[in-house]
Amino acid sequence: MRAQQQNMKLFGLLSLLVGALAIGQINAAGNTHLVCYYDGGSFVREGLSKLTLNDLEPALQFCTHLVYGFAGINPTSNKLVSNNEKLDLDVGSGLYRTVTGLKKKYPALKVLLSVGGDRDQVDPDNNKYLTLLESSNARIPFINSAHSLVKTYGFDGLDLGWQFPKNKPKKVHGGIGKFWKGFKKIFTGDFVVDEKAEEHKEEFTALVRELKNAFRPDGYLLGLSVLPNVNSSLFYDVPALINNLDYVNLHAYDFQTPERNPEVADFPAPIYEPNERHPEANVNYQVQFWLNNHAPASKLNVAIATWGRAWKMTKDSGLTGLPPVAETDGAAPAGLQTQTAGFLSWPEVCAKLPNPANQHLKGADGPLRKVGDPTKRFGSYAYRSADDSGENGVWVAYEDPDTAANKATFVKAKGLGGVALVDLSFDDFRGGCTGGEEYPILRAIKYKL
Ligand SMILES: *[C@@H]1O[C@H](CO)[C@@H](O)[C@H](O)[C@H]1NC(C)=O
């Protein structure tokens, strides 16, 4: 009798809790998300770009979610697996447990494991992310292993950075040479992204449904990351998916990169379309696609990249730096810390902007000319035209605290769920550039949300 009363009490309490949770979800406006990505790979970098757990902590007061990446798929077993077992799983020092252990100190923080995220090796001829979808027998080991990894290591859920095939970059043709202005035409040819896109779309919906069903008894979260240059209309049946997803992070950046578009430099992640080129390659288009397909605004997070994309300007790229910049020659040289051609973290970009340390330097070490974004629509860039011998030309477009704040303002104005910051390790987590304040981009976003 007593036990039964206790149970009734407990049940009452639980219903109250569930009710409160539901209200929390509906009332998302006052409760915007700041999803922080933490790439475990940054833990094993050399030098100043190595981010340790001590470096991570100052960020956590601002993050509602921490997404740890990136797990992968074993193509033989179709299981979700760590891509670096020593780093992730070692007893005592493994990052899976260390990262979820942060919840002791930050109890409101949700920690998710992310799969894919363009970091998992894929054989292009036998894309495991597609073959896994194609048979329900292959989906089962994936779902079971995902559930088991989440449970074993104490994550709050799974983030699906599903590696669907990407759009082919649009070749842009125009006049050539110095006096070249704007574009005449945009070609894609008759390239088909995926012959079986329609089937894969249906199968992905099934996977998400099955995953959510497996997660529901434990209350685990399931999020989707729409990766850069993946065409949502090809692969995501929004109305059928959305009820089984807790959030969707729209990774609306890297639309233009030196790898994809070596000959023309342009804004990689504008909020709006710059001057009638690339109508789909902007944040607003991506957000609107999901809203038009009945995704609740409160489930959509706009992902903001903390890096710049850098092209080599040639003598034929002209002197103005005004994008689109023609006749570029692929990726600019790698940064000292991140060591990746065409890619510069925010602190690396920041160090190239005019400052007391570089004001008298010349050539490759001299400062870039900075062009901010008074329109608040496209992002910042900085450049140095090629010199007389055609050397040292750079054009880099990047996100800084101001442009990230513009995106957060956009998110607020649209009533969206929030922002996803990708990646904490490329923000100025040491505060080296802006006078000691760590994570300036993260802070700028938080301040606007
Ligand atoms: C995405 O796919 C749709 C067809 O579903 C197509 O009309 C559109 O041009 C594609 N977008 C890009 C950027 O390739």
Q: Which residue has the tokens 């989707």?
A: 224
> How many other C-beta atoms are found inside a 10 Å radius of the C-beta of residue 185?
9
- Any atom of ligand 1 within 6 Å of the Cβ of 280: yes
Out of 188, 194, 195, 234, mutate this one to test ligand 1's pocket (max ligand atoms within 8 Å of CB): namely 234
**Ligand 1 closest atom vs CA 281:** 13
pLDDT tens, N- to C-terminus, the chain (449 residues): 454 555 555 545 445 444 444 444 443 445 899 999 999 888 888 888 889 889 999 999 999 999 999 999 999 999 999 999 999 999 988 999 999 999 999 999 999 999 999 999 999 899 999 999 999 999 999 999 999 999 999 999 999 999 999 999 976 654 444 344 444 455 555 689 999 999 999 999 999 999 999 999 999 999 999 999 999 999 999 999 999 999 999 999 999 999 999 999 999 999 999 988 889 999 999 999 999 999 999 999 999 999 999 999 999 999 999 999 999 999 999 999 999 999 999 999 999 999 999 999 999 999 999 999 999 999 999 999 999 999 999 999 999 999 999 999 999 999 999 999 999 999 999 999 877 899 999 999 999 99
Residue 338 lies in a domain: no
187 Cα–ligand 1 center, Å: 13
Q: What is the CATH number of the domain that holds 271?
A: 3.20.20.80
Q: Could you tell me the sign of the dihedral formed by the alpha carbons of 274, 278, 283, 289, in that order? A: positive
Residue 257 CA to residue 262 CA, distance in Å, equals: 7
Residue 72 lies in a domain: yes
For 52, 95, 98, 106, the CA distances from 101, given in Å and listed in that order, are: 15, 9, 5, 9
Residue 229 lies in a domain: yes
Q: Which residue has the tokens 């807790």?
A: 246
What is the three-state SS of 288-357? HHHHHCCCCHHHEEEEEECEEEEECCCHHHCCCCCCCECCCCCECCCCCCCCCCCEEEHHHHHHHCCCCC
Q: Which residues contact 68 (CB under 8 A, 6 or more apart)?
A: 38, 40, 95, 96, 99, 111, 112, 113, 114, 155
Residue 73 lies in a domain: yes
How many domains does the chain fold into? 1
pLDDT reported for residue 120: 97
**88 in helix, strand or coil?**
helix
- Any atom of ligand 1 within 6 Å of the Cβ of 233: yes
**Ligand 1 closest atom vs CA 197:** 5
Residue 36 lies in a domain: yes
pLDDT reported for residue 29: 44
- Any atom of ligand 1 within 6 Å of the Cβ of 234: yes
What value does the CA radius of gyration of the chain take, rounded to a whole number of Å?
23
What are the backbone dihedrals phi and psi of residue 298, each rounded to the nearest 5 degrees, phi first? -65, -15
Residue 366 lies in a domain: no
Residue 363 CA to residue 384 CA, distance in Å, equals: 9
Q: Which residues contact 152 (CB under 8 A, 6 or more apart)?
A: none
What are the backbone dihedrals phi and psi of residue 420, each rounded to the nearest 5 degrees, phi first? -115, 125
**Ligand 1 closest atom vs CA 233:** 5
Q: Looking at ligand 1, which residue's alpha carbon is closest to its atom 11?
A: 231
pLDDT reported for residue 190: 66
**Ligand 1 closest atom vs CA 231:** 1
Q: Which residues contact 236 (CB under 8 A, 6 or more apart)?
A: 201, 204, 224, 226
What are the E-state strand segments in 88-220? 110-116, 157-161, 171-173, 185-187
Out of 233, 261, 285, mutate this one to test ligand 1's pocket (max ligand atoms within 8 Å of CB): namely 233
Residue range(s) defining the domain that contains residue 105? 31-306+399-448
Residue 279 lies in a domain: yes
- Any atom of ligand 1 within 6 Å of the Cβ of 74: no
- For the chain, count helices (H), then strands (E): 13, 16
Residue 4 lies in a domain: no
164 Cα–ligand 1 center, Å: 14
Q: Looking at ligand 1, which residue's alpha carbon is closest to its atom 1?
A: 231
What are the backbone dihedrals phi and psi of residue 248, each rounded to the nearest 5 degrees, phi first? -130, 120
